[in-house]
Amino acid sequence: MGCCCGWGMLRFHGISSSSSAALSSLMLPLSLSLSLFHSSSLQFSSNSHSSSSSSFSSQVVVALQDQQQQKPQLRSSQLVALEYADLNLSYNLDLGHVRIRQHVNPLSSSFAAPAQVPDWNQVFADPALPLMVDIGCGSGRFLMWLAKRTPKVRNYLGLEIRQKMVKRAEVWVKDLALDNIHFLFANAPISFKLLVESYPGPLQLVSILCPDPHFKKKYHKRRVLQKPLVGAILDNLTPGGQVFIQSDVLEVAQDMRNQLDEVDALGHIDDLNPKLCDSEGWLLSNPMGIRTEREIHAESEGAKIYRRLYQKKMLTDLSKYTCS
């Protein structure tokens, strides 16, 4: 399943520095500025009076530039904390020592059972609202950020195959007191259809963001987006509803793109507004207003994010695809 973190092994841990501390670490300390100015002044006074003031200024500028080049760079985990700082999440959770394996085999028998359909009236304050489903939601912070900004407008459902991440997300949602978001431990290819067909409101948006790449060719069958899931999304997506995909791995992004491009009932955003995309049809920016954790990690390392946004055609547009 998709995730918003790096691949390998993750460990739940606290963020060592706050947003303000992280930002202040980038600033040149006052004492250092003064010492640089003082040392430069001494050098200036020891020279003959023929030394120009411009020489003094250039020495100070060079010294400051040298210091700025040596300033510590924020780690990607700190960048994530900054991006989601306004959620004010607690990282001192009583979950014990938790290790999460990023790569899991979704075809394993341990993930074969479909998720239990929740009582939508219990998990959402208004289950008639339009629904967004994030497949492979990872830690869930991406969805929480969206849910906090759109109360009474849309409900959010995060599906994640790693149960320990779901448990942590549930604690955060309770602390945030949000009533328009819910997380489920689920293998999306198996559970998606059952879940969305039972939901009382319209399915408005489906996102698959930086899913596990499963690089080896023999493992491509483990990738989350396969034809059955594409069909389930299309069958349940309301006309005008959207599908948003992205990956920092071009091969994975291209694989998802190829599958969705084949669906006649889906139109890509570049068909409506080509200015939103580059010459190869990838979105120029993230349309969601917030980056996922994996997106932040990847971009901090200089990687490109490949994005596509599709929209289901309206019923009048679909008439030409039906049998007479």
Catalytic sites, residue numbers = 212
Checking 296-305 for CB contacts under 8 A at 24+ apart, the result is: 296/76, 296/79, 296/80, 296/83, 297/5, 297/6, 297/76, 297/80, 298/210, 298/248, 299/248, 300/74, 300/76, 300/79, 301/76, 303/248, 304/248, 304/250, 305/246, 305/247, 305/248
Distance of alpha carbon 221 from alpha carbon 288, whole angstroms: 29
SS3 246: strand
**Residues in a beta bridge with 11:** 99
Q: What is the DSSP letter of 224?
A: S
SS3 300: helix
Find the angle CA(148)-CA(149)-CA(155) to the nearest 5 degrees.
Answer: 70
Distance of CA 231 to the CA centre of its chain: 24
Tell me, letter by letter, the H, E, C secondary structure of 37-101: HHHHHHHHHHCCCCCCHHHHHHHHHHHHHHHHHHCCCCCHHHHHHHHCHHHCCCCCCCCCCCEEE
SS3 312: strand
